[in-house]
Amino acid sequence: MSTEVQARADFSVIRYAQVWEDADVLVEALDLKPGDTCLSIASAGDNALALLTRDPARVIALDMNPAQLACLELRVAAYRSLDHPGLLELIGSRPSTRRAKLYNACRDALSDEVRAFWDAHPESVRAGVGGAGKFERYFEVFRTRVLPLAHNRRRVARLLDGGARETREAFYAREWDTWRWRALFKIFFSRFVMGRLGRDPSFFRYVEGTVAEHILAHTRHALTALNPAENPYLNWILTGTHGEALPLALREEHFETIRSRLDRVEWHLLSIEAYLERHGGAPIDRFNLSDIFEYMSEDAFKGLLERLCATGATGGRLVYWNMLAPRSRPDSMADRLCPLDDLARKLHEQDKAFFYRALIVEEIL
């Protein structure tokens, strides 16, 4: 069984060279227990690896795009072959002049197909593999061509210094929230520009409302209510590195834990529908579904939700994000899924990946 978006979107290139969903929020929302089996959308692999910090027995990572699985496989090889500083340099979290050498240290741990993929993209390796995706290049255009028209480097550095909330709010109101900033932001993050440069245009098929206005409101929250100094996603967008704020899977305190549990991760070039169709093992405890429901019709979403409940364990959890298309448990499934709305709202307020309209957490009954 194929998924709806598979017929419309281009899956021949890296779309996301990093995972743009907050792993701190994800692991708390999933509430993983030692020994759990987790199914995760792979994307670039960061959050599938982050799940290992909670001691699951098995993480099943799925993606329809072989380029995305090449990102995950290279990360697994890097954890096996490099030390922590080397991993950060290869990803691009830290500056480096030796990324080709670091890649060569990982190369023998890759499958033939993935080795050939990365051998064919030496420029992506030299620049840091975390910047190799279409979405990251979109942010690079914003950072290098658009942002300087509104704010200079000194002002960006002051923003990223953070400080107390009242300081952040005053700085935003007085120096950051200019008419030029708002105008450029609304153009660059419009549905048209984002579809051309960032996401596949087909991903907007079920979007409702104005894209740029929504993202601008959430960006204000990230720059004021949350501390920019602690936000790796914001740091990358504005500077091209993570700075001192790292996503969960890249933090030093988790490096050896993830390295020691890499044999618990498996990855498959499959849609989630196809995997569920052939899955015959024990029920799955936890589902990291990213924002896959954005790209589905209401009917396709409800059908997949039914399959997930049938495959999931009682007491298991589904976690997913809504960016622009509203998706959540339909009333017709009230006897099978319980929304954990209070938890979801609390975690969404803390979400450092600030693009999303809502976080959804649901428990299987």
Task: Look up residue 267 and give its amino acid.
Answer: W
Instruction: For residue range 338-352, list pLDDT tens digits in order.
Output: 999 999 999 999 999
Instruction: For residue range 106-161, list pLDDT tens digits in order.
Output: 999 999 999 999 999 999 999 999 999 999 999 999 999 999 999 999 999 999 99
Residue 209 predicted with pLDDT over 70: no
Task: Look up residue 250 and give its amino acid.
Answer: L
Q: Is residue 206 very low, low, confident or very high in pLDDT (cuts 50, 70, 90)? A: very low
**Residue 20 to residue 37: CA distance in whole angstroms:** 23
pLDDT value of residue 197:
64
Number of helices and strands (H, E) in the chain? 19, 7
Task: Look at residues 288, 307, 320, 285 and name the one whose alpha carbon lies nearest to residue 57.
Answer: 285
pLDDT value of residue 213:
86
Cα radius of gyration rounded to whole Å, the chain: 20
Instruction: For residue range 167-180, list pLDDT tens digits in order.
Output: 999 999 999 999 99
Inter-CA distances, 226 with 25, 50, 120, 234, 244, Å: 14, 22, 40, 11, 16
Check: CB of residue 45 under 8 Å from CB of residue 66: no
pLDDT value of residue 208:
53
pLDDT value of residue 204:
45
- 3-state DSSP call for residue 193? helix
pLDDT value of residue 309:
97
Check: CB of residue 204 under 8 Å from CB of residue 324: yes
Task: Look at residues 328, 326, 361 and name the one whose alpha carbon lies nearest to residue 343.
Answer: 361
| Average pLDDT score over the chain | 93
The backbone torsions φ and ψ at residue 318, rounded to the nearest 5 degrees and listed phi first, read: -110, 130
pLDDT value of residue 9:
47
Query: How buried is residue 333: exposed, middle or buried, by Cβ count under 10 Å (0-12/13-18/19+)?
Result: middle
Q: Is residue 189 very low, low, confident or very high in pLDDT (cuts 50, 70, 90)? A: confident
Check: CB of residue 308 under 8 Å from CB of residue 320: no
Inter-CA distances, 173 with 78, 155, 219, Å: 42, 13, 13
The token duo for 200 is 């596949």
Residue 5 predicted with pLDDT over 50: no
Average pLDDT of the segment spanning 69-73: 98
Higher pLDDT, 43 or 10: 43
**Residue 213 to residue 189: CA distance in whole angstroms:** 9
Residue 280 predicted with pLDDT over 90: no
Check: CB of residue 47 under 8 Å from CB of residue 254: no
pLDDT value of residue 10:
53
Instruction: For residue range 287-333, list pLDDT tens digits in order.
Output: 999 999 988 899 999 999 999 999 999 999 999 999 888 999 999 99
Report which DSSP code applies to 78.
Answer: H
Report which DSSP code applies to 240.
Answer: S
Residue carrying structure tokens 């740029």: 212
pLDDT value of residue 155:
98
Check: CB of residue 46 under 8 Å from CB of residue 250: yes
Residue 219 predicted with pLDDT over 80: yes
Average pLDDT of the segment spanning 278-294: 93
Check: CB of residue 50 under 8 Å from CB of residue 248: yes
Overall size of the chain counted in residues: 365
Q: Model's pTM, two decimal places?
A: 0.92
**CA dihedral (82, 88, 94, 100) positive or negative:** positive
Residue carrying structure tokens 């600030």: 354
